[in-house]
Amino acid sequence: MDGQVAIREVQKNYGSFKALDGVSLDIEPGEFVTLLGPSGSGKTTLLNVLAGFTRPDSGSVKMDGVEFLTLPPHKRDLGMVFQSYALFPHMSVLKNVGYPLKLRKVAKGEIDRRARAALDVVKMGHLADRDIGALSGGQRQRVALARAMVFEPKILLMDEPLSALDKNLREHMQIELKRLHDQLGTTTVYVTHDQREALTMSDRIAVINNGTLVQYDTPSRLYDHPVNRFVAEFIGESGFLPVEVREGRLTLFGEPVVSRDPWRGDTRAWMLVRPEKLAWREPEGPANRVDATVCEAIYQGDSFLLDLVLPDGGTIDVRCNPHTANIAIPSSGDKISFWISRDNTVLVEGEA
Amino acid sequence: MIAETSLSVTPRRSPRRPLNAQTLRVQARRERLGRIGLTLPGSILICVVLLIPVGWLFYLSAFDAAGNLTWANYERLGRSLYLRSFFTTFRVAGIVTLLTVLMGYPVAYMMSHARPRMATVILVAVMLPFWTSVLVRTYAWLVLLQRTGLVNGWLQSLGLTNEPLALVHNELGTIIGMTHVMLPFLILPLYASMKAVDPALMKAAANCGATPAQAFRQVYFPQTIAGLGAGAGLVFVLCLGFFVTPVLLGGGRVYMWAMQIGDNISLYGNWGSASALGVVLVLATGLVLFAIRILLKLAGGPR
């Protein structure tokens, strides 16, 4: 199975701004990799480097061992789904999907047959003769996908393809794209700023910030073992408690910290607070206890969002479901305690 | 809790008239009247200065002084003098339109792809001629192109020609001057249609495997046909009725339809004949615009 990508030390500066600062990344054949980061992080620049629309200052991109970076975009044989779909408004749905085949000098009848087959895969076969203008956003999305994969490229690039869809359709399409990927096995590079979308779809996620690769890991490794506060903050719902580090001893509001992994840094550490990893009653075994005062309890249907004042005067927002936590419904002014068990304790470094 | 329960009861249907219906209807009517009031002055002006004179034109061309219906004015148009100037007019207009398309398309393309500041500079350069009168610009061309003008002076001092070229007072000079005047009318609508093309389309075409030339021909150009047609149509129609520049740069050798009309009135005082010429010009213009519409529909349609 082909479609292996090796990205090495890609550098792209716009004046003094480093859009990509020496990014290296390996993508295995058939893998679904997401480039995840906030806007301006460089994730789209990296995708455009892969597609050939942005010329980097230096670096190397090899596909199946062959240098790729110096090829013009039309010789790269990549399928790409654009954020705006970029369907050709003067062509019908079928003509759009058949366009890559027409350029590859495929016979006329064969073009129509394969284009229709690709449209069937994305469940758009019945709309093949429509005009692009007559399609909804979700339908355009499917046509764009069919056009990107009709010539069976080894690699599929997707630039925030679902960002223009409403929430329900987006979630539905995420599942469908994932199923399609499992079915076709095409190496896929997917760009998004939506961490939940990345967690849903990816085999591996490359978290990018300020033009550098921060962490490249499976979704569960990223969620449970973030390398720093940025990753922990960006992925999932999170809060942070300040941990004092003095001569190798860790304390949280004066109490010694219990944790499974030893702390190697000598700077300040942060204890990661994930709502589903908290206990609101004292658990068995060692745990870190935090006493707080409820400043405000905001009802949000399935849960409460608690704005808590910590012993050091700082505040933290924590989600709490009083029913599953088996506690009384909190209200302003209540004293409340929560625990993070030793196994659930994750410490990260990073700026506040 | 009490308030919540009482709110959740289905409200009873009121037996009275629908709420505020009368007021809302009055407001809607007032708004409609307001809109009509705003367009009224313009409508009246168009009626007075356009429809009535054009109607008068048709009347003059088809009725003689005694008020009898006559085709004499139209029969005279069959004379070779008129036929020749009719074809000259269309030939010059066609050549000028072709030249503005060839010269204007790249300029509009550059303008639509330039960075904002550069685009503004080019736009100002294109619009600049609009700020001076056509007469001034035409005389400027006369200065440049005449026998002892700048262009001939340079050509001779560079040794490229031995004697002055006939650059003006002929069809060539007329075409040069008219092309210059007409360029902005092509560039502006074309620029607008180019600005509306999603830049991602060209990337998508390249991604599909199209070379830059293929992407331009098969994806970009079809999106700009509508703007190109609008601009070219505008230029062609304006050329058909153009007067000042052909008179001054043609030196009497390029006899266009508009000059014919002018002569009929100022030299011969023959309003009937001039009106017939005008009517034919209006009809021909309408025909050209209609043909362009049909062509655009065939070429730039949804498929």
- Give the chain A residue nearest B210 (alpha carbons): A74
Average of per-residue pLDDT across B101-118: 94
Q: Which residues 175-204 in chain B show a CB within 8 A of chain A?
A: 198, 200-201, 203-204
pLDDT tens by residue, A169-191 = 888 889 888 888 988 889 999 99
Nearest residue in B to A78, CA atom: B207
The set of residues, in sequence order, having a beta carbon less than 8 Å from that of A340 and lying 6+ positions away, is A271, A273, A277, A278, A279, A287, A288, A290
* Chain B CA closest to residue A87: B201
A108-121 and A137-149 helices, crossing angle to 10°: 130
How many A-B residue pairs are in contact by the CB < 8 A criterion? Answer: 71
Burial-class residue A244 by CB neighbours within 10 Å (0-12, 13-18, 19+). middle
Interface mutation vs chain B, best among A83, A84, A103, most B CBs within 10 Å: A103
pLDDT over threshold 50, residue B289: yes
Q: Is the pLDDT of residue B10 over 50?
A: yes
Beta bridge partners of A292: A336
Looking up tokens 């005047």 gives B181
The amino acid occupying position B72 is: A
What pLDDT, in 10s, does the model give residues B114-139?
Answer: 999 999 999 999 888 888 888 888 88
Examine the pLDDT at B296 and tell me if it is beyond 70: yes
Q: Among B290, B287, B285, B281, which residue's Cα sits nearest to residue B85?
A: B281
Number of neighbouring beta carbons within 10 Å of residue B137: 17
Q: Is residue B9 very low, low, confident or very high in pLDDT (cuts 50, 70, 90)?
A: low
- Considering only CB atoms, B303 lies closest to which of A82, A83, A91, namely A91
Task: Calculate the CA dihedral of residues B150, B152, B154, B157 and round it to 10 degrees.
Answer: -130
pLDDT at site B303: 38
Cα distances (angstroms) measured from residue A319 to each of A199, A228, A238, A316, B142: 20, 22, 10, 10, 82
> To the nearest whole angstrom, how far is the Cα of A103 from the nearest Cα of chain B?
6
> pLDDT category, B14, cuts 50, 70, 90?
low
**Which CATH topology does A5-224 take?**
Rossmann fold (3.40.50)
Using the Cβ of B46 and the Cβ atoms of chain A, whether some distance falls under 8 Å is answered with no
Chain B partners within 8 Å of A90 (Cβ)? 222-223, 300-303
Domain A237-348 architecture: Beta Barrel (2.40)
What distance in Å separates the CA atoms of residue A73 and residue A54, rounded to the nearest whole number? 10
Confidence category of residue B300, pLDDT binned at 50, 70, 90:
low
pLDDT score of B112 more than 90: yes
Residue in B206, B222, B300 nearest the CB of A74: B206
Joined together, the tokens standing for residue A336 give 């409340």
| Chain B residue whose CA is closest to A155 | B207
Answer yes or no: do A90 and B215 touch at CB < 8 A. no
List, for residues A71-126, the tens digit of each pLDDT value: 999 999 999 999 999 999 999 999 999 999 999 999 999 999 999 999 988 888 89
Q: Which residues in chain B are closer than 8 Å to A49, comparing Cβ atoms?
A: none
CA distance A178 to A201: 6
- Please report residues of A whose CB lies closer than 8 A to that of B204: 80, 82, 86-88, 147
CATH of B81-300, one of 3.30.300.90, 3.40.50.11060, 1.10.1740.10, 1.10.3720.10: 1.10.3720.10
Question: Please, which pLDDT band fits residue A352 given cuts at 50, 70 and 90?
Answer: low
Q: Where are the domains of chain A?
A: 5-224, 237-348
Q: For B253, phi and psi rounded to 5 degrees?
A: -90, -20
- Contact (Cβ atoms closer than 8 angstroms) between residue A114 and residue A101: yes
Flag whether pLDDT at B302 surpasses 50: no
Crossing angle for the helix pair B116-127 and B80-113, to the nearest 10 degrees? 160
Identity of the amino acid at A191: V
Dist CA B100 CA B189 (whole Å): 13
pTM of the model: 0.80
Residue A6 has pLDDT above 50, yes or no: yes
Chain A CB within 8 Å of residue B291 CB: no
Average pLDDT, chain A: 89
Phi/psi of residue A53, each to 5°?
Answer: -90, -20
Per the prediction, chain B carries an average pLDDT of 87
Say how far apart CA A90 and CA B221 lie, in whole Å.
11
Between CA A341 and CA A258 the distance in angstroms is: 8
Question: Is B209's CB within 8 Å of A151's CB?
Answer: yes
Chain A environment of B302 (Cβ under 8 Å): 89-90, 92, 131, 133
Instruction: Name every residue whose Cβ is closer than 8 Å to that of residue A142 and which is 6 or more positions away in sequence.
Output: A122, A123, A124
CB of A53 less than 8 A from some CB of B: yes
The interface pTM score, or ipTM, of the predicted complex is 0.82
Q: What are the extents of the domains in chain B? A: 81-300
